[in-house]
Each structure stands twice: as structure tokens, then as C-alpha cells.
Amino acid sequence: MTTLNYLLLAVADPPKSETFYSRLLGQEPVQKAPTFVLYVLPNGIKLGLWIKDEMVPRPLPPGGVEVTFSEPDKDAVSATYATWKQRGATIVQEPTDMDFGFTFAARDPDGYVLRVFSRAENPR
């Protein structure tokens, strides 16, 4: 079976994105170059940031896809919100209850939406 374990985002300026993600995630990349940055998150998922001008095929503009992080409960979502806000994330949705759970959303320098949520006990 094929395993999904790597997200690759097309970015305009990998060093700028590295600064943003290192601050937001509280960790340094495992690999970095002027055109590419790679993080390995604590759960093993890899997050790559590749300069969009060198990608083949050319990437489409951001939109329709969110990079999503899960937390075990509302308190953890609220704590992540406070941390990200303190670290300078642009918040595009304040913490709120939605049909699927408690959530907030931020935007990265390239326009990708980063969502944090905890699953509702009885999602609709």
C-alpha cells in the first residue's frame, strides 16, 4: 500500500519560508538549501518547501488545499493558537467551534492555509 508521508509546498522564497516555519513549528529543518527546505515533524511526516520557479510541472496557485495539524482537545488547540499568534502567524480564522470540531486557521507567506483542529465528539 502506498503511504502518504510527505507534503511539498511550492514557495516563492525558501529562506523566508524557513524562518516562518521554524518559528511556527518550534524546530529547525533537517535539510536546507537556497531552493529547498525539509522538516521532519515529530510524527514522522515530512514537510518540504521547494522554490516554485524550479518545480516541474509548474505548480498551480495555492488554494483548495489546507495543511492541517490535529490536536487532542480544545485546550491544546487554544495553546497552539496562542503560540502561533505570539510567533507572528497571520490568523485568518479565530478559534471557533465548527461541525467537525474546534479550530483556527493561519496563512503562511505564500498564502497556504494552515489549520489546527481537535475533532468534535460527534462530528456532523
Q: Residue 1's domain is classified under what CATH number?
A: 3.30.720.120
Based on the fold, state whether residues 76 and 118 are members of the same structural domain: yes
Which tens digits make up the pLDDT trace of 100-124?
A: 999 999 999 999 999 999 999 877 7
Same domain, 121 and 66: yes
CATH number of the domain within which 94 lies: 3.10.180.10
What is the pLDDT confidence band of residue 38, given thresholds at 50, 70 and 90?
very high
By percentage, how much of the chain surpasses pLDDT 70?
98
Say whether both 47 and 68 belong to one domain: no
Is the domain of 65 the same as that of 121? yes
pLDDT of 42 above 90: yes
- 46 and 82, same domain (yes or no): no
- Does this model's pTM top 0.85? My answer is yes
3-state secondary structure the chain: CCCCCEEEEEECCHHHHHHHHHHHHCCCCCEEECCEEEEECCCCCEEEEEEHHHCCCCCCCCCCCEEEEECCCHHHHHHHHHHHHHCCCEEEEEEEEECCEEEEEEECCCCCEEEEEEECCCCC
